Homo-oligomer: A and B are copies of this chain.
């Protein structure tokens, strides 16, 4: 589509990729999505989910498309991490890549799609050796996500409409990878006017029953 008579003709061009670091909570562990490459280059090695930017889409759109193709999710939280542009970062050819990270609700993910594209969920504390510059990307992504989860809205994408404070805390703990103090946690929650108590009580989780809450803020996702 690019017209070769633009003022920019003669300027080199590059493949531009997107790499997605997709997190989810499975059981009580934070996992991320990898693929084992059954194609060259680096065949047999584990790799992040990636794709190439098309002519008719923005880089952000490409990332969302890749996310969608793999998980069926159209409105998950996704955020840019940065560009990775070393010459030999991809041994196959020169590819400049923009990395994104995302946190999704496991229950909403189309696991058939994931499997059919050879995706596998891997515990973040048991990651295999990864090719390219993916280890750095993952490290960065995890730090940023953990920073965001304590102060942001993004955790509510992983919760049902109504939830107990224990559910909320458990989820945050799984993402953070460490336990949190219950009273301090609830203190912070109570300061957040976007989390409101409902009249309902959940009787599933305990004899006594737990108050159900609702998040009334805007769910953070594609903007």
Contact = CB atoms under 8 A, between A and B. Distances in A.
A7 B15 CA distance: 12
A218 to B, nearest CB: 21
Nearest to A63: B85
A82 interface: yes
Interface residues of A, number: 38
Copies in the complex: 2
A3 B92 CA distance: 10
A205 to B, nearest CB: 41
B93 A40 contact: no
Given A16-B14, A83-B80, A85-B98, A8 B92 contact: yes
Contacts of A16: 13-14, 16, 85, 96
A129 interface: no
Contact of A13 (B8, B14, B92): B14
Given A7-B93, A92-B7, A53 B15 contact: no
25 contacts: A3-B93, A6-B93, A7-B41, A7-B92, A7-B93, A8-B15, A8-B95, A12-B52, A12-B53, A12-B54, A13-B16, A14-B14, A53-B96, A55-B94, A56-B87, A57-B87, A58-B85, A59-B84, A59-B85, A59-B96, A60-B86, A62-B85, A82-B83, A85-B98, A96-B96
